[in-house]
């Protein structure tokens, strides 16, 4: 198998809330929208899809699901996101494994971890593979 792209598709009954959240707070662009299925794209080409259940399809249980978003400047994004009215579910902080980040939750209960790379502490450097 040689995938050209891979992206998650979450089954939800909150399509409108989800569309508004990602476009208004995170700058996503809607690239496909047929009311029950949306495809959202971020600058750089990353994408997420959400769909309402079809023909008895089960809803996704987002408990424990986290999307990691690596950004160039987490402090700027933190300021913009909190200024838009969102409250972080995890405060912004430096982590010894090599990032600075914070978390928010989307309307589906999915945790979005937003971070920038930092130099890892010495005890974590050996875990990085070239």
Q: Note the pLDDT of residue 2.
A: 84
Mean pLDDT of the chain: 94
Query: Model pTM?
Result: 0.91
- The residue-averaged pLDDT of 91-108 equals 97
Task: Kindly tell me the burial class for residue 14, based on how many C-beta atoms sit within 10 Å of its own C-beta (0-12, 13-18, 19 or more).
Answer: middle
User: What is the DSSP code (8-state) at residue 35?
Assistant: S
Domain chopping of the chain, boundaries: 1-53, 61-130
Residue with tokens 């792209």: 5
* CB neighbour list of residue 97: distance below 8 Å, 6 or more residues apart: 120, 121, 124, 127
- The residue-averaged pLDDT of 61-85 equals 94
Same fold, 1-53 and 61-130: yes
User: What top-level class would CATH report for the domain 61-130?
Assistant: alpha beta
Q: Which residue has the higher pLDDT, 122 or 5?
A: 122
User: Quick check: 94 pLDDT over 80?
Assistant: yes
Q: Note the pLDDT of residue 41.
A: 96
Q: Could you report the per-residue pLDDT of 23-51, keeping only the tens digit for each?
A: 999 999 999 999 999 999 999 889 999 99
- The residue-averaged pLDDT of 53-57 equals 91
Q: Note the pLDDT of residue 122.
A: 95
- The residue-averaged pLDDT of 96-118 equals 97
Architecture (CATH level 2) of domain 1-53: 2-Layer Sandwich (3.30)
How far apart CA 64 and CA 117 sit, in angstroms, is 23
Query: Are the beta carbons of 92 and 78 closer than 8 angstroms?
Result: yes
């Amino acid at each position: 198998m040689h995938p050209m792209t891979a992206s998650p598709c979450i089954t939800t009954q909150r399509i409108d809330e989800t569309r508004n959240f990602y476009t208004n707070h995170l700058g996503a662009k809607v690239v496909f929208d047929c009311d029950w299925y949306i495809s959202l794209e971020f600058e750089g080409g990353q994408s997420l899809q959400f769909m309402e259940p079809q023909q008895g399809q089960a809803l996704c249980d987002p408990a424990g699901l986290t999307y990691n978003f690596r950004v160039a400047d987490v402090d700027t994004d933190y300021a913009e996101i909190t200024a838009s009215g969102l409250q972080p579910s995890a405060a912004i902080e430096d982590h010894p494994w090599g990032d600075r980040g914070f978390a928010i939750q989307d309307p589906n209960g999915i945790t979005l971890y937003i971070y920038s790379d930092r130099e890892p502490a010495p005890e974590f450097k050996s875990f990085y593979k070239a």
